[in-house]
Structure 1
Amino acid sequence: MLSGLAAALFGAPRPGAARGGPAPPEYYYPPTAGGGTATMVPGLPDPVVARLGEVGLPLGALGLFVQAVDQPLPLLSLNAEDSYVLASTAKVVTTLAALDLLGPNYRWRTEAHLHGELVDGRLDGDLVILGGGNARLGSDDLLRWFEAMQAQGLREIGGNIVLDRLAFQLSERDQAAAPRPAPDRPHHNWPDALSLNDGVLRLQLQAAAAGRPQVELVPPLADVTVLNQVVPGRGCATQVHWSGDAGDGARELRVTGQWGPACGPSSVRFALMSDADLTARAVQAAWVRAGGVLQGRVVDRAVPQAGPVRSPERQRDARGVLRPAWATHLSDPLPLLVREINKYSDNMAARALMLSLSPGFPAQAATPEAARSRVQQWMRTRGLPPGDLEVDTGSGLSRAERGKPRALVQLLRQAWHDRNGRWFVDSLPIAGVDGTLANRLRDGPATGRAMLKTGSLMDVRAVAGYVRSQSGRVYAVSAIVNHPDAPAATVVLDALVDWLALRNDGSRR
């Protein structure tokens, strides 16, 4: 029998039942997400009903679907065929498609090509670096790569270092549904085929035993002076002031504020410059730090914003055969990249991985349209028709990334049995243990038993993944809230996960 709270939440009884009488125990009748005709859906557990009543969200704001990975019928379904903004649970689609289409041995490749003759350690020409989409390439990686090049025999560059970023080609239109990058929102940066440190600057702060606190810019940048005006004190706040270009390319970063011993070490992330400018300055600084000599300068091979797509330029020999790279930097294998993307919700890496699915990449430049088309084709092979799941950037930052809870569970159930599924499952945050769930669902029944990709935007809260019940059965689950008060609905999603973790076969509640 419906409790008073459940009756208030779920409204009308089953057609044919006596008016005012109890609804059948297995089904409630909520309005759909669009507010249309009520549909029959399996009943919700009492803890979920209670939390819904506490937060006061309309039932149409919640879509969920739960099905055991080894059972043919769903356990729970609510608005499961309505389309919701996915937030970062869209990364489930991106990473599963990548593991299936690229394989676990896939790595991003950054190539160095010599355009000129190398004699006695001096290159009479340009060193061309072809970006291959490695969103995890850091300034320390670059420094070690340059040191290896010099040990290999390249110590002086008579021409320029040319940065070829043509492997990713995006326009303003491609980013229309995603938030724009801003200095205080570096996680909104656009993907770039040749990016360092996610296109993000880090200001490392450390109080000193005596005197002015230490300030360090990471990565080090050529022709950028850091002016440290931070003073000791009780405050733990700093401000960054970025000068304009002085005309000779030199810029100044002035840091003010207070930083005392009680503040401890800290790292502040920001995006004050374009990815291309940051990479160019960091490359020049790293080459010099590695001990190399550069007679020319760092030149950017710009990505066209209009016109035909241009592919990265590689040298050919007299017979027209492509010459191999002189030196290559490889990223970690795909399973480790997927782990970073899902455990810590790395937007830049997810967007780069999505573009890497573009046919022919990296020899053929990637475009968002081509990548989206390939992912849609892949989803059709998984039995998902158009409209079930829509991907855009691959990260969930775009509000064009929408999907049905049932469709996400369909992918999750398939992944559980796939040959590459273990890499995906291992990439998910574990409740109360690590990743984006390290401080959530702690000290409860789901701790260590739920593996879930989380998602959040200002008006979205979502989880998608697996919960192992007390009886040992594994359930695939997708639960999404779209509503201005979505942050309050985290307790509803957690109540569902805890209930699944406590479940014994044959029990309903």
Structure 2
Amino acid sequence: MAVLGKTAQSSPSHCGISGSAESSIGARISEIVLIDTPDRSSYTPIKKEVLVKDVSGRMTSKKQLPFSVFILIFSLFLFLIVEPLSVSGNSNSHAGDASGKSSLSEKTAITDKIKSLIGPRDAVFLADASGKPILAVNENKLLIPASTLKMLTSLAALHYLGEDFRFKTELYMDNQENLKIKGHGDPLLISEVLREIARELSTRVSGFNDLILDTSHFTEPLIVPGVTSSFQPYDAPNGALCVNFNTVYFKQDKTGKFISAESETPLLPFVLPKIKKSKLREGRILLAGEKEECFMYAGHLFLYFFSSHNILSSGKIRMGEVDTSKDEHIYTYISGYPLAHVIRRLLEFSNNYIANQLMLAMSAIVQSPPGTMEKGVRVLNEFAKKELKIEDIRISEGSGISRNNRITAKEMMKILNKFAPYYDLLRKDGNVYYKTGTLNGIRTRAGYIRDLKGNLLPFVILINTPNKSDKTVLNNLTCYVQS
């Protein structure tokens, strides 16, 4: 959980008040004080004569000023002492009034600017730290949230699984000495993890026949709305036993030979045809789901690391299932990454694959195995409606890649109110913590702006008008908050 801390205050001059205007306000305050404060040096003290005794004891009379003169002197004394305080108070009051009027005028101007940026297919919502609306335009319009939906998926995972939840991967040996690996959807099953699994397994077995991959924890095939058959990593398919986000990162050496662009991951012969088909010289491509390609890649990579730890296989890679009543449990790898870390990576890199892996994992745990897209969507919908009291939302998957996802800015604000304790999981830019969303013609952003008092003010920007910028709206919101 995050603890709110102090932060540097931005100069209002960046938010619509020019430096010359600030100087003008300061000069006006000084001007009031200089004009209205009396000049004490212009008054000469007036002495009063009294009756005194001389050395002989006789009363000697010095000139006694008239009583009216005494009253006049006393009045002048009060004027000199009290009036400057009064004038100073009035000066501060006038200065405060001027500053307040200036701030109000600036906020009005910024509000008008923000409203001019929001079209009929856009929305904006800014609230105070308690959730009370400050500025709202089209807040009840159902719009495409894009990747800001990942905040809902993250919240649901934290709610149902807990911050310390860790994924597991199980290894079994059947009576024919075939090694079986059962995946449970670990989204961070990367090369470094496979190396660790191989190292641990080498203390238990020296070899096996076939390598059998059990992906039954999730139903296959998994069709994610919005995902297309491309080489782009954001279209990576999901599954119960996938490695390296179902992607391969490669480049060419000086001779033109394809090599791995990652020190921890070898470039296996298995993926070379896919690389050549992409016609790319370098980059990251995904392994699609046709012909169990992504699972077979996982198998080949497991075999590579097993071999590097002297665990030999004399068979082939194939699909199958674990039979817990017959197969011997050999080892269970428990992820070194707690859920809070997984979510941080999800939000930092806006990873569609991780988001839907979490949704599928929830579907298998909250409901029952196998995990399915339908169950996952049901879990997210129930969480949104029961836990967050969201009434107007349409969910097709958990990452925001689908254009069928819909939510209003007002309902998105409920997600932000609940997400506030985890605000530091978001990306940070100056005094703004945020999650962006990008699709063709869609620009969205949601998060928190820290005001000059250190409070976090939640905001939502949903731009569904093509060729419009969410960043311009955010800049104006930030200026409004810090003016």
Query: Is 1:169 paired with 2:257?
Result: no
Q: How does 1:415-430 map to 2 (within 5 A)?
A: 415-416=419-420, 421=421, 424-430=422-428
Deviations 1:426-483 (CA, angstroms, capped at 9, x unpaired): 210001xxxxxxxxxxxxxxx1x11111111111111111111123222111110002
> Which residue among 138, 145, 164 is the counterpart of 1:105?
164
* Residue matched to 1:216: 260
> Which residue among 180, 183, 193 is the counterpart of 2:240?
193
Alignment partners' CA distance in 2, 1:205 and 1:45: 57
Residues 109 and 329, structure 1, Cα contact 8 Å, conserved in 2? yes
Query: Is 1:180 paired with 2:228?
Result: yes
> Which residue among 393, 397, 401 is the counterpart of 1:393?
397
Q: How does 1:339-354 map to 2 (within 5 A)?
A: 339-354=344-359
Q: Secondary structure at the match of 2:380?
A: helix
* Offset of residue 365 of structure 1: 0.9
Structure 1 letter corresponding to 2:324:
Q
Query: Is 1:410 paired with 2:419?
Result: no
Q: How does 1:310-329 map to 2 (within 5 A)?
A: 313-316=322-325, 326-329=331-334
* Residue matched to 1:125: 177
> Which residue among 455, 472, 476 is the counterpart of 2:454?
472
Alignment partners' CA distance in 1, 2:248 and 2:378: 33
Give the structure with the higher percent strand. Answer: 1
Query: Is 1:291 paired with 2:350?
Result: no
Unaligned residue ranges in structure 2 (runs of 5+): 1-105
Alignment partners' CA distance in 2, 1:217 and 1:491: 33
* Residue matched to 2:299: 280
Deviations 1:201-242 (CA, angstroms, capped at 9, x unpaired): 1104566xxx76883365435544869xxxxxxxxxxx9524
Structure 1 letter corresponding to 2:459:
V
Structure 2 letter corresponding to 1:127:
L
Alignment partners' CA distance in 2, 1:475 and 1:240: 46
* Residue matched to 1:46: 109
Provide TM-score, normalisation by structure 2: 0.70
Deviations 1:43-78 (CA, angstroms, capped at 9, x unpaired): 98634644775xxx662122121112325x311111
Alignment partners' CA distance in 2, 1:279 and 1:332: 20
Provide TM-score, normalisation by structure 1: 0.67
Alignment partners' CA distance in 2, 1:325 and 1:90: 39
Amino-acid identity (%)? 19
Structure 2 letter corresponding to 1:165:
T
State how many pairs are aligned: 372
Q: How does 1:9-20 map to 2 (within 5 A)?
A: none
> Which residue among 135, 140, 152 is the counterpart of 1:93?
152
Higher relative contact order (CA 8 A, sep 6+): 2
Deviations 1:73-124 (CA, angstroms, capped at 9, x unpaired): 31111111111101000001000111111111111111111213xxxxxxx5
Residues 467 and 475, structure 1, Cα contact 8 Å, conserved in 2? yes
| Cα gap change, 1:145 to 1:296, in 2 (>3 Å) | same
* Residue matched to 1:29: none
Unaligned residue ranges in structure 1 (runs of 5+): 1-42, 117-123, 228-238, 243-252, 257-266, 302-311, 432-446, 504-509
Q: Which has the larger radius of gyration?
A: 2
Query: Is 1:70 paired with 2:70?
Result: no
* Residue matched to 2:13: none
Deviations 1:255-294 (CA, angstroms, capped at 9, x unpaired): 86xxxxxxxxxx6101255312322322222222232210
* Residue matched to 1:268: 283
Alignment partners' CA distance in 2, 1:45 and 1:354: 42
| Cα gap change, 1:287 to 1:101, in 2 (>3 Å) | same
> Which residue among 466, 469, 474 is the counterpart of 1:489?
469
Alignment partners' CA distance in 2, 1:361 and 1:154: 35
